[in-house]
Amino acid sequence: MLIYLSDDKIDTGHQYIDFKATLCDSGQAFRWRVLPCGTIRGVALGRVVSIRQEGNAAWLENITMEEFLAQWEDYFGIKDDYTILYQAADGDPFFKQCLESGNGLRVLRQNFWEVLVSFIISSCNNIGRISRIIEKLCMGFGERIAGDAYDFPLPERLACHRKEHISAVSGCGYRDEYILEAANLMLAGDFNDLDDLPYSQQIHRLKKCRGIGEKVASCTALFGLHNLSAFPVDIWMSRILSQVYSGGLDIEKFGNLAGVAQQYMFYYALKHKDIFRHNNLSARPTQKLDGG
DNA sequence: AACCAGGCATGGC
DNA sequence: GCCATGCATGGT
């Protein structure tokens, strides 16, 4: 595909990305929006960026070629080779459908700290509200970048407040203390050098923070540490595993891209909620039934 | 107005 | 180890 930058253009060859699917509709990043005019706008890497895409061509505003090669190419995960996924789809009609339906979907390389907090907020929450809470966190505690755009707050900007204030500003509810604990662990260096550790050690370290269990930890490894083998199982994946695979999916076939495969299936489930929402065998029936 | 949301901590067994 | 329950909030 052709990507036009502010001072040049680059041909990525057969490597393709669907920016809207990847940035706005896949539940891995929460700070990108589609404006009424169709332009995609968001904050990442400390900067406000606008993107337009028409098929195989995309225009990135406010990014030079030098900056693209230095940072953004990695951020978008454009160089990652997903070939093995198409091999794994052979003999797996459901996954094949997910791949085709989500063509151009990619797993981003995002900032670790932002991903960590974002997925603490994600627990028992929906994507729309996760985005709103994060936006309020940024407005309330982040550095202003330009206009009404704010960067994601640094841990020290959160750690200096009481949990009641974090909750009041962002609406994050009971997750306030989890966010604060994550900030303090971050400042104490507990999450330094996580990328050098094997997956099981990454998960173990992350879980030491209250509010981080298996699912949030695996999302953090996948999206924040770019450990593409991490395979988060949320309520939607659990529905797919029980309804489509009868609990018998062997993720070995995805090689070290199981997390990317997961992302395609998750994205497909989101796009077809009506198919998967009901007849759920493994998740909890519903919320509180008020036993009065 | 109930129901639900990219779960987790806790306590009981 | 597994299972049940409470948890803050707000959109639909």
DSSP assignment of chain A: -EEE-SS-EEE-TT----HIIIIISSSS-SSEEE-TTS-EEEEETTEEEEEEEETTEEEEET--HHHIIIIIHHHHTTT---HHHHHHTTT-HHHHHHHHHTTT-------HHHHHHHHHHTTT--HHHHHHHHHHHHHHHSPEEETTEEPPPPHHHHHTS-HHHHHHHH--GGGHHHHHHHHHHHHHTTTTTGGGS-HHHHHHHHTTSTT--HHHHHHIIIIIS--TT-----HHHHHHHHHTSTT---GGGGGGGHHHHHHHHHHHHHHTHHHHSSS-SSS-S-S-----
In chain A, the N- to C-terminal Cα span, in Å, equals 60
Q: With a 7 Å cutoff on the CB, does A220 touch strand B?
A: no
Q: Alpha-carbon distance A175 to A120, whole Å?
A: 7
Q: What percent of chain A has pLDDT over 70?
A: 95
| Per-residue model confidence (pLDDT) at position A91 | 94
Quick one: average pLDDT of A70-96? Answer: 98
Q: What is the mean pLDDT of residues A243-270?
A: 96
Distance A39 CA to B12 C1' (A): 53
Name the amino acid, one letter, at A291.
Answer: G
Q: What is the pLDDT of residues A217-238, one digit of tens each?
A: 999 999 999 999 999 999 999 9
pLDDT at A248: 87
* Nucleic strand C within 7 A of Cβ A292: no
List all nucleotides in chain C with at least one atom under 7 A from a protein Cβ: 5-12
With a cut of 70, say whether residue A206 has pLDDT above it.
yes
What CA–CA distance (Å, rounded) separates A271 from A268? Answer: 5
| pLDDT band, very low/low/confident/very high, at A288 (cuts 50, 70, 90) | very low
pLDDT of amino acid A251: 97
- Model confidence, pTM: 0.95
Average pLDDT over residues A274-290: 55
Q: Which nucleotides of B are covered by protein (CB under 7 A)?
A: 3-10
As a whole number of angstroms, the distance between CA A170 and CA A172 comes to 5
Nearest residue for C5, CA–C1': A288
Residue A287 has pLDDT above 80, yes or no: no
Q: Is the pLDDT of residue A280 over 60?
A: no
Q: Is the pLDDT of residue A123 over 90?
A: yes
Query: pLDDT tens digits for A148-167?
Result: 999 999 999 999 999 999 99
Token look-up 């036009």 returns: A4
For helices A163-170 and A176-188, what crossing angle results, to 10°? Answer: 120
The pLDDT mean for chain A works out to 95
Establish whether the CB of A208 is closer than 7 Å to any nucleic acid atom in strand B.
Answer: no
| CB of A185 nearer than 7 A to strand B | no
Rounded Cα gap, residues A197 and A112, in angstroms: 15
Q: Residues of chain A with pLDDT > 90: what percent?
A: 94
| pLDDT the model gives residue A97 | 98
Q: Which residue is nearest to nucleotide C3 (CA to C1')?
A: A284
Ramachandran category for residue A250: left, alpha or beta (phi over 0 → left; psi -120 to 50 → alpha): beta
The predicted model gives A182-191 an average pLDDT of: 98
pLDDT of residue A214: 98
State yes or no: pLDDT of A172 exceeds 50. yes
**Distant-in-sequence, close-in-space partners of A226: CB < 8 Å, separation ≥ 6:** A77, A107, A109, A195
Q: Which active-site residues of A does the annotation give?
A: 215
For residue A181, what pLDDT is reported?
98
Tokens of A25: 């509709």
pLDDT value at position A129? 98
d(CA A78, CA A219) in angstroms, rounded, equals: 20
Residue A277 pLDDT: 87
User: How far does the CA of A235 sit from the C1' of B11, in Å?
Assistant: 24
Rounded to an integer, the average pLDDT of A181-199 is 97
Residue A131 has pLDDT above 70, yes or no: yes
Output the pLDDT for position A208: 98
- Taking the CA of residue A234 and the C1' sugar atom of nucleotide B6, their distance in angstroms comes to 5
The separation, in Å, between residue A197 CA and nucleotide B13 C1' comes to 36
